[in-house]
Structure 1
Amino acid sequence: MAALAPAAGTPKLLSAAATGLAGFIESRRLCLDTILGHAGIDQASLSDPVAPLSLDGYCTVLDLAARRSGDDDFGLAYGQQFLPSHLGLIGYIALSSDNALHAAENLASHFRFHQQETSTELIFRNPFYHLTYRIDDSRIAHRSQDAVLTLGMFCNVFRHCAGRDWCPDEVHLEHARTENWRSIEAAFGAPVRFESRTNALLFRPERAVAAMPQADPALLRLMCHNIKTLGFRKPAQSVAALAEDYIRRNIASGSVSLEGASRVLHMPARMLQRRLVEENASFADLVEQVRRVEGRRTLLEGKLDIAQIAYDLGYSEPSAFVRAFSRWFGISPLRFRKMHRIEGGRSRLQ
């Protein structure tokens, strides 16, 4: 099957996200045909885990089921019981990862192939990692049920390797506080901050060290390939992304420049600079972004000392890297590495 092209209408997600949803709706004594019909979803599409499903329709189903059943916890309950393996390709990518942190990295970097118009990131802001999730399409109004559901799915990835008692340190939700806020806190075992900028699970590094029981590097590579082939294609690469690729390939030389990028991209330096501004980027910011991402990744791999990492990132001396890293993450590189003593191998980005 060829990769799915982005649809002209509202964004899509892979139907694996709706595994067991029909039965879950019927267990609440609701009319499945009525609810799916109202959302414009064909029940037959739910049986194919890589079939495209309307994200707006999916969110509408969750919202309608919650309202018709009188159960504000509908999405919460569905997400809490959702096994990672039921998520299809993205679920197996998480389960095949080395450990909990590696699984979170892979969820964040591959979720865009599972669901369109959605932002997922794994960000470290001392002392917490933030595994974020947000639907970007403003046309999708009914999203609170989906938010608690998806964070519950993410939470179950951690619980798969760390045990059922695993809990994040905090949960952030975009929507306003609801009457069932106590149920949400009880389900996650953590305080919830409503009206946040994005939905997120927050956790300390030491809470993500458990090894994944079914870690399988070969299967992980296959699943990453498959989701890129069977899932939703990325949009055409932006000029900022092309410039970032140039920086990443040449950063160790210590001589990356706007002029060098313009020669590689076959456009005048002024045009490149203007195109970057149009994409809300700058060459200096891209250099810093590459250094931040690659510095963190290399520290987690644990193979190189801090001085060698600094030189590989184009710094003339290690102290410059130490100052930059401390500014980015609020912690020194050495302390950061000590905080990430991962069971079952280092965390590696795919």
Structure 2
Amino acid sequence: MHRSISARDTSQAATVMGAVVSGFASFLRQQGAEAEDIFERSAINPDVLSDPNQPISLPAFLKAIDTAALLTENDNFGLWLGNQYRPEYLGLWGYVGLSSATLGDALMNMSRYFPDFQSRSSLKLNHHQGKVRLEYGLLDGSIVSRRHDAEMTLGNVFNVMRRALGERWAPLEVHFSHGRPECWQDHQKAFRTDVRFEQESNAIVLNALDLSRPMPGADPQLLLIAKQSFNVIRLAGSVRFTLAERVRSEIVETIHTGVPRIEQIADRLGLPVWTLTRQLKDEGHTFSSLFDSVRKELAYNYLEKTAMSISKLAELLGYTETSSFTHAFNRWFGASPKRWRDRTRESARIDEL
């Protein structure tokens, strides 16, 4: 039986407010899936349904989404989960947006309190030449399975935008850092606009003039209560990132667009290469060792959870030859990728009997 791997231990696991579980459970029922079964497989306590402000493990919640995608055979599970997610299902974070005066205020407030709603994560607004980019990213380098999460999260924010701009509104563009999935046309249907993959970040691009639109549910008193509640909870107040964690996260974000170079990662982090190298050494790491560990976890994730061919996976991970990937996989796991996948699937079938 194969055990899940992790490149390193973290001092504090990433969390998300339990409010997300309610909307997830509702969508599971619509898909004909058993929420209790998926909760159990992902080590999520169903009691969280009655305590929306309780923090739960973000990796466990993302595992639940990945598991649901497999069990329902819905490759775009995260996309459609986010597309139908009512902002009210997001608890305090959703109400921070819904009760704001304008869409611009809503997005600023949601960006400000997002690290409290979901730790080790980032949501930020960037203005440039009459356009606005709302960018989302995971900062936890231990999480390598990110596609369903990114599509769900942008869908959540998209639904808040539609409250102000109308159900027929569409953004200028939507960007995802992951590769283009097989049924990519669904993404254009869900967001009603051009969706681009293998981009620098996950983002919704809209016209800056849209920010002035009033939120129909604006409620200053409710907004004040939500903000005060966040200040009390302050889930992410003590989170500290090591540089190695930040580098791993950037490698995960960029590997789908080509082999990440240390110069590229240093630039994304706003550090000189020599500073990045020295600080990683102080933490007991090198850039190449972190790159190798990310490749290892991504290989494990894709072989276990997808039917991707070995040659395609080798290309995705930046190997010019499939034989080079096979050699690396043998070094990591003591077996060829094909033999490892066959053995893992046989173990899973035995467990289900």
In the superposition, the TM-score normalised over structure 1's length comes to: 0.63
1:191 matched to 2:212:
no
Please name the residue that 1:144 is paired with.
147
Where does residue 226 of structure 1 map in the other structure? 229
Distance in structure 2 (CA, Å) of the matches to 1:66 and 1:143: 13
Structure 2 equivalent of residue 20 of structure 1: 23
In structure 2, what residue type is equivalent to 1:148?
E
Tell me the CA shift for residue 103 of structure 1.
Answer: 0.7
> Is residue 2:83 matched to residue 1:65?
no
Query: What is the RMSD computed on CA atoms of the aligned residues?
Result: 2.2
Q: Deviation at 1:205?
A: 0.9
Aligned length: 235
Residue segments in structure 1 that go unaligned for 5+ positions in a row: 1-6, 239-276, 279-350
Instruction: Kindly report structure 1 stretches of 4+ aligned residues shifted beyond 4 Å.
Output: none
* Cα distance change of structure 1 residues 32 and 221 upon mapping to structure 2, 3 Å threshold: closer
1:237 Cα offset (Å): 9.9
| 2:86 corresponds to which of 72, 77, 83 | 83
SS for the counterpart of 2:137 is strand
1:235 equivalent to 2:238? Answer yes
Mapped to 2, the partners of 1:23 and 1:102 lie a distance apart of 29
Match among 118, 121, 124 for residue 121 of structure 1: 124
1:195, distance to aligned residue in structure 2 (A): 1.5
CA shift, 1:215, in A, is 1.4
What is the rounded CA distance, in whole Å, between the counterparts of 2:236 and 2:12 in structure 1? 15
Paired letter, 2:94: G
Decide whether aligned partners of structure 1 residues 197 and 235 sit closer, same or farther in structure 2, where only a CA change above 3 A counts.
Answer: farther
Q: Work out whether 1:49 is the aligned partner of 2:52.
A: yes
Write the distance in 2 (CA, Å) between the matches of 1:120 and 1:10: 19
Equivalent residue, structure 1, for 2:256: none
Q: Return the index of the structure with the highest Cα Rg.
A: 1
**Equivalent residue of 2:169, what SS?**
coil
Taking the aligned partners of 2:102 and 2:26, their CA distance within structure 1 comes to 32
Residue 49 of structure 2 aligns to a residue in which SS? Answer: helix
Letter in 1 for 2:168: D
Deviates more, 1:43-52 or 1:228-237: 228-237
Determine helix, strand or coil for the equivalent of 1:20: helix
Match of 2:171 in 1: 168
After TM superposition, give the deviation of residue 190 of structure 1 in Å: 1.2
The residue that corresponds to 2:95 in the other structure is 92
1:201 has 2:217 as partner: no
Distance 2:46 2:183 in 1: 30
Question: Any gaps of 5 or more consecutive residues in structure 2?
Answer: 1-9, 242-274, 277-353
Contact 1:14–1:231 at 8 Å: present in 2 too? no
Give the drift of 1:208: 2.6
Taking the aligned partners of 1:23 and 1:82, their CA distance within structure 2 comes to 9
Structure 1 position 213 matched with structure 2 position 222: no
Q: CA offset at residue 92 of structure 1?
A: 0.8
Matches within 5 A, 1:307-318: none
Q: Can you list the C-alpha shifts for 1:183-221, whole angstroms capped at 9, x where unaligned?
A: 011110111121222211111112232211121223222
Q: Any conservation in 2 of the 1:80–1:152 contact (CA below 8 Å)?
A: yes
C-alpha contact 2:104 2:212 (8 A) present in aligned 1: yes
Distance 1:146 1:85 in 2: 18
The structural deviation recorded for 1:26 is 2.9
Distance in 1 between residues matched to 2:98 and 2:26, nearest whole Å: 24
Q: Using a 3 Å threshold, how does the CA distance of structure 1 residues 236 and 13 change in structure 2: closer, same or farther?
A: closer
Q: CA deviation at 1:94?
A: 0.4
> In the alignment, is the contact (CA less than 8 A) between 1:158 and 1:208 conserved in 2?
no
Other-structure match for 1:11: 14
Question: Any idea what SS the aligned residue of 1:19 has?
Answer: helix
Mapped partners of 1:179, 1:198: distance in 2: 20
Kept in 1: contact 2:12–2:239 (CA 8 A)? no
Match of 2:134? 131
3-state DSSP of counterpart to 2:181: coil
Q: CA deviation at 1:60?
A: 0.9
From 21, 27, 31, the counterpart of 2:34: 31
Distance 1:30 1:142 in 2: 21
